[in-house]
């Protein structure tokens, strides 16, 4: 008797927590054209749980295949197919970039490929996505500007975390904001992945108000944004960068923090076992040789190496890294200077330290704060709601529309 199978593709994620999160992150932009479920599951079937090298190989191969097909589609005049292939390839290269050893030149190669694919797709997107070079201290910050049809309700500046890229920000958040009537300017600042690909010496800096001043100037003077209707969204560690900027930069009419991070040192230390910060110092080579039980998982080595690189020379040893991160701290009296309306977001599954800082922000802010917890009933409890970005867009951008009405 013949058999019939409805599908031969197993629906299976990863058990290793960091890899599970990054896989969810890859899936999160499928709705915006940044991936295909079947392609992601095909890669999953080739990767052993916890095997970072296998992850890099699998997502790179998928991205290479799609980028090659995009070239053929473009040559044949199939622009929609070329756009779709390029966007998916861009995000797969970004996924591969995350788990590649940051000391390997291939880390930079993958990142540049992600940006190149996205920029090739940008003029084929609807609405049109405009690559922007933002003047900043003698160089330019990479970014993208998207404007809705008709007069925009306001302009949203999107400040990502240390491992995000402006390409990912446009797909994950920008297009949802544009659909609701906002112009969007997403960018990469010092110490963020998109800029580190081309300027590895421009590491994280505490004075993010200088970065946001340049971005706000570009939005107003180069892109025609209404200076009275500027809003700021900070995601992941961008929740600290944006908050710090809002403390010193009075031009923002509204602030969205997902999540509010007052103290990056305490936030980062919570990733590691108790007592790690009080133990002996160690350098990069020792991190590679460190036994698995010394870290929450072997993949935390990658997180630690990323922080070390993005914090610059001061982050060469673990203790020096902690000293560098200690500069990224805001006191209650600083936060009291934020007087614009703010939306403070938290994933219910993020843990005790993010919740503590989320509560501290709501208590100390000098302006009205709307607090929102995303829970598992919506599948949105993860960090930055990677399990349900549509739910985040609904809550955040509807709130913004009401505030700016």
Q: In what order do the strands lie in the sheet with 252-258?
A: 129-136, 139-146, 183-187, 155-159, 230-235, 252-258, 342-347, 369-374
Tokens coding 269: 């230390």
Farthest-apart Cα atoms in the chain, separation: 76
Please say whether the beta carbons of 256 and 169 come within 8 A. Answer: no
DSSP state of 172: I
Please say whether the beta carbons of 156 and 183 come within 8 A. Answer: yes
74: exposed, middle or buried (Cβ count in 10 Å: 0-12, 13-18, 19+) = middle
Helical segments of 159-278, H only:
166-169, 175-179, 193-196, 208-217, 238-248, 264-269
Single out the catalytic residue among 114, 236, 365, 382. 236
Q: Which residues are paired to 186 by β-bridges?
A: 144, 158
Concerning whether 114 is annotated as a catalytic residue, the answer is no
Counts of helices then strands in the chain (DSSP H, E): 17, 8
Three-state DSSP class for residue 15: coil
CA 241 to chain centre: 12
Nearest to 239 by CA among 214, 226, 258, 218: 258
Q: Looking at the chain, how many residues does it have?
A: 405
Tokens coding 235: 């995601």
Distance between CA atoms of residues 197 and 190, nearest Å = 11
DSSP state of 32: G
Question: Which residues are catalytic, by number?
Answer: 236
């Amino acid at each position: 008797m013949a058999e019939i199978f409805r599908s031969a593709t197993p629906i299976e994620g990863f058990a290793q927590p960091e890899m599970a999160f990054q896989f969810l992150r890859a899936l999160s932009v499928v709705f915006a054209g940044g991936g295909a479920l079947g392609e992601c599951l095909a890669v999953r079937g080739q990767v052993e749980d916890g095997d970072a090298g296998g992850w890099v190989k699998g997502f790179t191969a998928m991205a290479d295949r799609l980028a090659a097909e995009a070239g053929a589609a473009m040559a044949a005049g199939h622009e929609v197919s070329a756009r779709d292939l390029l966007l998916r390839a861009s995000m797969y290269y970004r996924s591969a970039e995350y788990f590649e050893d940051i000391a390997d030149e291939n880390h930079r190669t993958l990142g540049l490929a992600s940006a190149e694919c996205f920029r090739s797709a940008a003029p084929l997107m609807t609405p049109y996505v405009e690559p922007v070079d933002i003047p900043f201290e003698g160089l330019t910050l990479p970014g993208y500007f998207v404007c809705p049809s008709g007069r925009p309700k306001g302009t949203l500046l999107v400040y990502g975390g240390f491992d995000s890229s402006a390409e990912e920000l446009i797909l994950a958040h920008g297009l949802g904001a544009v659909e609701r009537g906002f112009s969007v300017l997403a960018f990469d600042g010092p110490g963020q992945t998109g800029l580190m690909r081309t300027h590895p010496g421009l590491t994280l800096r505490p004075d993010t108000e200088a970065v946001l001043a340049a971005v706000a100037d570009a939005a107003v003077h180069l892109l025609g944004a209404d200076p009275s209707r500027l809003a700021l969204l900070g995601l992941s560690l961008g929740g600290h960068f944006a908050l710090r900027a809002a403390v010193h930069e009075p031009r923002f009419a509204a602030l969205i923090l997902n999540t509010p991070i007052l103290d990056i040192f305490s936030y980062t230390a919570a990733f590691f076992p108790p007592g790690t910060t009080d133990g002996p110092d160690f350098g990069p080579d020792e991190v590679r040789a460190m036994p698995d039980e010394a870290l929450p998982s072997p993949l935390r080595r990658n997180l630690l190496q990323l922080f070390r690189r993005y914090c610059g020379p001061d982050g060469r040893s673990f203790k020096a890294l902690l000293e560098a991160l200690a500069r990224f701290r805001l006191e209650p009296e600083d936060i009291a200077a934020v007087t614009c309306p703010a939306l403070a977001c938290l994933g219910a599954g993020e843990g005790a330290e993010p919740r503590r800082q989320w509560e501290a922000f709501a208590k100390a802010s000098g302006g009205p704060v709307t607090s929102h917890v995303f829970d598992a009933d919506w599948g949105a409890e993860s960090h930055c709601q990677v399990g349900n970005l549509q739910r985040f867009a609904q809550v955040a951008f509807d709130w913004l529309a009401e505030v700016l009405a």
